[in-house]
Structure 1
Amino acid sequence: MKKYFINVNEEETPKYIIIERHIKKLIDSNKIEDGEKLPSIRVLAQLLGVNNITVVNAYKKLENEGHAVQKMGSGTYAKRKDINRNFKREYSETLKKISGNLQEYIDFTGETPSSSFFPVKLFKDVLNNVLDRDGADALIYQEALGYEGLRKSISNVFWKNRIRSNDILIVSGAQQGIDIVSKALINTNDSVIVEKPTYSGALSVFKWRRADIFEVPMGEDGIDIVKLEKILKKNTIKCFYTMSYFQNPTAVSYSEEKKIQILKLADIYDFYIIEDDYLSELIYDESMVYKSFKSLDKNDRVIYIKSFSKIFLPGIRIGYLIPPANFKESIQNSKINTDISTSSLMQRTLDLYIRKGFWKEYIANIRVLYKNRYIYMEQCLRKHLGDKVDFISPGGGLHFYMKIKDSLKINSITLFRLAKEKKVLLTPGILFYKSPSDGEKYFKLGFSQTDEEGIEKGIKIINNLMEV
């Protein structure tokens, strides 16, 4: 009965609402379990020093809002609403609402490098050079594949000319790349495989295409191959979506051995791999060697997607896509039907920025900056949350993925709400699963938008909240 006690005289809010809110919080945090019988009206009224009608009204409000159910002749029982289903909207609206006051928060939700590290003056000089060089031509639409100069730069600098520039398609970021590929390849009721958990933007695209989505759990070096092959044996799979480095949200990177196994299975079972190459530039562990699925692909099974927006500057919205020969035309047509051309000026500016060597310099600088921040955050997590969460050390990227220990009753939605009240923002794991309830005990902490002082302060606050 102790957990039900609350001082109802502390504020001006009606007493029945204070009681209802308190019980609702206990239900949401699993301190009152789903289906648990609530105290009788008389007993709770005596405990809180209120009259019976106050408790009756509190129970009625809980029932009306779906947090309790009354059984005739038996009493009132807790009912845990499926709060997960509508949480995505709540999360999005919360971030929108506070976007203008984000500096007041410790922000662990960021997924891109901080704009404070971006060399604005240098980029502005390059942009002006493009306008001086190309004049009005810099502002006109390009050919469907994208600006030829940028495609040649990508081929030369990132692929050592192993990929022809005519096989590269410029897109407006990774999200558009996933959407374009889905429109070209996936029809209603086609089957796709995703990692469990996976990027919520990809899940949304596949659901919108009305695909049948199969999930394969992630291990420490990629998905479970045995479970993958079980699905492949029983179903005709069109494609497998993967993030090969520092996966969002688990931060896992695939081993070369596992990549080769999956490529072999793609050939045997006739499916394609959509590789979203996410943040592979930010490798801090020197023992990790970069090899994409695409670079290991001998049978043209990989559709490679890369965004410059994730690592460079979100506002420029530029990425590229390398399709297999079989789907090159249909994917190009899908891009044309989605939009005519990605910003010509930004393509030309990025091309010159890469050609002048500024891109490599920028990546080298932020790799050093974020490696230091990564090391510091890992130390803080082990120091302050080591007894409350489990996590892997990814060796790169911009985030860590936490699993709340089973001994703790709190879930990630409750933690998100409590942390928000303390001006700390985190990302609950339910956003990354086909079935949201699978992510209740997980949350993601990014360090791209928060300095070392904020990192330790925020982690200490989360630690305190998890002790409640």
Structure 2
Amino acid sequence: MTTGIRGALPELAGRARSVGASPVREILALTARPEVISFAGGLPAPELFDAEGLRRAYDRVLAERPGQVLQYSTSEGDPALRGAIAARAARRGLPTDPDEVLVTGGSQQGLSLIATALLEPGDTVLVENPTYLAALQCFGFAGARVVPVPTDADGVLPDALEELVRRERPKLLYLVPTFQNPTGRTLPADRRRAVAEVAGRHGLWIAEDDPYGELRFEGAHQPFIASHDAAADRTVLLGSFSKVMAPGLRLGWLRAPAGFRRACVVAKQAADLHTSTVDQAAVARYLADSDLDAHLDRVRAAYRARRDALLAGLPGALPAGSGWNRPEGGMFVWVRLPAGHDATALLPAAVARDVAYVPGAPFFAADPDPTALRMSFTTHTPAEIGEGLARLAGVLRP
């Protein structure tokens, strides 16, 4: 018989207490009302999903080999899917063998596997400033020390990177070189080469995250950092089907040198055994039966029109003295309000007018800019974007 006295439970791990929730995910919850025009989420346009093509792919694999696609699978991933991923990477200038590919539960899992396989508490990771928010969460859970690399409108500054590498002796440099989240900027080819050479000279790993690379509307494609000889044996390339097919599939991949890839396979076995067998099989079938490039042409055309609508409307929606960039693809425009404005403090007033954005401050590893905000242009039509900007003007230009 119990006495009613209950012992206190042990505390959660320090990492669970110290790493905060994603402000982006919390804003999405606040703005889920259908009347809200949200520039906040990095969400692909749902009306552009090839739902019919994906349905046919699922129907076919379930009809032809249900016993196989509903069964456990290998940790490395579906061989047909790995072959298709390798072929697409090769067409983009990076010769890849299917055995170099590990299928993951979205590229986010790939990032977690890198952290698990590589990082000890206290290890140093270099990042762009600002950078992808979930990467900061991931490195925080790993107990890493995150150090920002100075950047300009084109991305990391190679000379500053070299100085930091000499001083900090990092294990890992994390980059989103193409249409970066949150800024939308793209690292030029000469800087990619310089980054590869720094890694080659000083001995560090590069995580090259490429979820947006196939969403280019204009301009020349830039080479993968992994394609440079200096970085070929020390770059882990992350990719995703979230932005080119559908994020609900939760399918991504990583390409890594053999020893690192094997460590990631073991880490994946401990995390989830393997990625969904049926989803992998259906996506492999889709890539064999459908024309993903034709689908992407439609997506890119729609996103370009939406980007242009956002850029055209910003002068009338933002206070005088604001600035923003013009990305050649991807999903985001990076905005800076004039000095004295605080994007976080202004957000509740925007939500009250049924419009939303993401304040930029949480994306910074250090020295956050309170005037910065990220605006996604992919989720709404040009007409809806115009209405959303009119609502925003009521907040920012009352």
Output the TM-score relative to the length of structure 1.
0.77
Q: Say whether the 8 Å CA contact 1:147–1:347 is kept in structure 2.
A: yes
Q: 433, 437, 458: which one pairs with 2:364?
A: 433
User: 1:445 matched to which residue of 2?
Assistant: 375
Amino acid at match of 1:147: D
2:185 pairs with 252, 264, 272, which one?
252
Per the TM alignment, residue 392 of structure 1 is displaced from its structure 2 partner at its CA by: 1.2
Structure 1 counterpart of 2:394: 464
Partner residue, 1:167: 100
Distance of aligned partners of 1:358 and 1:194 in 2 relative to their CA distance in 1, 3 Å threshold: same
The aligned residue for residue 107 of structure 1 is 38
Q: Determine the structure 2 residue equivalent to 1:221.
A: 154
| Aligned-partner SS, 1:439 | coil
| Amino acid corresponding to residue 403 of structure 1 in structure 2 | R
Q: Deviations over 1:287-314 (max 9, x none)?
A: 3223211223444121000011133211
2:228 — aligned with what?
296
Task: Determine if the alignment matches structure 1 residue 345 to structure 2 residue 290.
Answer: no
> Counterpart of 1:158?
89
Q: Is residue 315 of structure 2 the alignment partner of residue 385 of structure 1? A: no
Describe the SS at the equivalent of 1:387: coil
Go from structure 1 to structure 2 and tell me whether the alpha carbon gap of 1:197 and 1:127 turns closer, same or farther (over 3 Å shift).
Answer: same
In the alignment, what sits opposite 2:73?
142
State the shift of 1:382 in Å: 3.3
How far is 1:129 from its partner? Answer: 0.9
CA drift of 1:333 comes to: 0.7
Kindly indicate whether the alpha-carbon contact (under 8 Å) linking 1:110 and 1:448 is maintained by their aligned counterparts in 2: no
SS in 2 for 1:290: coil
Which structure is larger by alpha-carbon Rg, 1 or 2?
A: 1
Matched, 1:336 2:301: no
Spell out, residue by residue over 1:55-107, the C-alpha distance to the aligned partner (whole angstroms, 9 max, x if none). xxxxxxxxxxxxxxxxxxxxxxxxxxxxxx999666644432443x2x21001
Residue 362 of structure 2 aligns with an amino acid whose one-letter code is L
- For residues 134 and 368 of structure 1, what CA distance do their matches in structure 2 show? 36
Alpha-carbon separation, structure 2, partners of 1:90 and 1:306: 24
Partner amino acid for 1:247? Q
CA-to-partner distance for each residue in 1:18-52, whole Å, 9 max, x for gaps? xxxxxxxxxxxxxxxxxxxxxxxxxxxxxxxxxxx
The one-letter code of the counterpart of 1:290 is: Q
* CA distance, structure 1, for counterparts of residue 22 and residue 221 of structure 2: 38
What SS is found at the alignment partner of 1:237? coil
Matched, 1:363 2:296: yes
**For the residues of structure 2 that align with 1:89 and 1:171, how far apart are their CA atoms?**
21
Question: Using the alignment, how far apart are the partners of 2:265 and 2:23 within structure 1?
Answer: 36
Quick one: distance in 2 between partners of 1:377 and 1:301? Answer: 38
User: 1: distance between equivalents of 2:245 and 2:363?
Assistant: 24
Partner of 2:29: 96
Match among 51, 68, 71 for residue 120 of structure 1: 51
Whichever residue aligns with residue 318 of structure 2, its letter is L
State the TM-score, normalized to the length of structure 2: 0.90
Task: Give the structure 2 partner of residue 176 of structure 1.
Answer: 109
Q: Secondary structure at the residue paired with 2:171?
A: strand
Q: Give the fraction of aligned pairs with identical amino acids, expressed as a percent.
A: 25
Question: d(CA) in 2 for partners of 1:177 and 1:131?
Answer: 27
Q: Deviations over 1:88-132 (max 9, x none)?
A: 666644432443x2x210011121311111121221111101112
**Coordinate RMSD, CA, aligned:** 2.0
Do the aligned residues in 1 keep the contact of 2:22 with 2:133 (CA within 8 Å)? no
> 1:226 offset after TM fit, Å?
2.1
Please report how far the alpha carbon of residue 207 of structure 1 lies from its aligned counterpart in structure 2 after TM superposition.
Answer: 1.1
Give distance in 2, aligned partners of 1:254 and 1:207. 25
For 1:91 and 1:307, the matched residues in 2 are separated by: 19
Q: CA deviation at 1:462?
A: 2.0
Residue 319 and residue 97 in structure 1: after superposition, are their counterparts in 2 closer, same or farther (change >3 A)? same
In 1, Cα distance between equivalents of 2:24 and 2:301: 32
Matched with 1:68 is none
Residue number in structure 2 paired with 1:187: 120
Segment of structure 1 superposing worse, 187-196 or 329-338: 329-338
Structure with more contact order per residue of length (Cα contacts < 8 Å, sep ≥ 6): 2
SS in 1 for 2:179: coil
Distance 2:211 2:63 in 1: 34
Does the C-alpha gap of structure 1 residues 383 and 395 become closer, same or farther in structure 2, counting only changes over 3 Å?
A: farther
Please point out which of 381, 384, 395 is paired with 1:454. 384
The Cα of 1:374 is off from its aligned counterpart by 1.2
- Counterpart CA distance in 2 for 1:430 and 1:295 is 33
Partner Cα separation in structure 1 for residue 149 and residue 26 of structure 2: 30
Cα deviation, 1:230-250, whole Å, max 9, x if unaligned, reads 211112110100001110111
Change in CA separation of 1:417 and 1:318 when aligned onto 2, cut-off 3 Å: same
Residues 369-408 of structure 1: per-residue CA shift (max 9 Å, x gap)? 11111112111113443724211111111110101122xx
How many Å separate the matches in 1 of 2:20 and 2:147?
A: 22
Matched letter for residue 350 of structure 2? A
Moved over 6 A (4+): none
- Partner of 2:146, secondary structure, is strand
Cα distance change on mapping 1:89 and 1:320 into 2, 3 Å? closer
